[in-house]
Amino acid sequence: MKKTVVVFSLVIIAVFILLRISKYSYLSGITSIEMTIAVIAIVFFFAGIYLHKKSLHKKQPNTPKTPKVNYQKIKELHLSKREYEVLCEMAKGLSNREIADVLFVSESTIKTHISNIFSKLDAKRRTQAIQISKELQILPF
């Protein structure tokens, strides 16, 4: 924020200086107007680049990692809403008992869901299912 103010101040000062140069050169001759305009154009061109660069340096740390979930893939795999929930909890490292507790269902239900997930993801183990999900960009982390 402070740097932006400084840059804007410098730009404004540059404008005044260039306006003075333009008036001065206007008195000395007509042909120097094009030169003045060119100088102003170049200065503001790089000012635009500089300011945009600065604004990006501030936005990048705000969004360090934004993993996007490929919802299309989830549909293609015919993963139901509940199955996807179970998959996410599984990927967090929870056991069947823990998943059952956070989703308020029995452990048997979780086992059924996970078996279905495995067949749909073509996985044999939960660790493999997690790896496959990662590659398919299905998980939100």
Partner DNA sequence: ATTTAGCTCATACTAAAGTACCAAAATTTT
Partner DNA sequence: AAAATTTTGGTACTTTAGTATGAGCTAAAT
Among positions 2-21, residues that touch DNA (CB under 7 A) are none
Contact 113, 86 (CB under 8 A): yes
Regarding 113 and contact with DNA (CB under 7 A), the answer is yes
Structure tokens at 92: 């967090």
Q: Which stretch binds its own copies (CB under 8 A): 2-10, 73-81, 85-93, 108-116?
A: 85-93
> What distance in Å separates the CA atoms of residue 67 and residue 34, rounded to the nearest whole number?
50
> What distance in Å separates the CA atoms of residue 66 and residue 94, rounded to the nearest whole number?
23
Give the shortest CB-77-to-DNA separation in angstroms. 11
Residue number, 81 or 125, with CB nearest to its own copies: 125
- Going by C-beta distance under 8 Å and a sequence separation of 6 or more, which residues neighbour residue 140? 67, 69, 88
Angle, to 10 degrees, between the axis of helix 107-121 and the axis of helix 81-91? Answer: 90
Residue number, 18 or 103, with CB nearest to DNA: 103
Give the shortest CB-137-to-DNA separation in angstroms. 21
Look at residue 9 and give the partner it binds from DNA, its own copies, none, a contact being a CB closer than 5 to 8 Å depending on partner kind. none
Residue number, 2 or 75, with CB nearest to DNA: 75
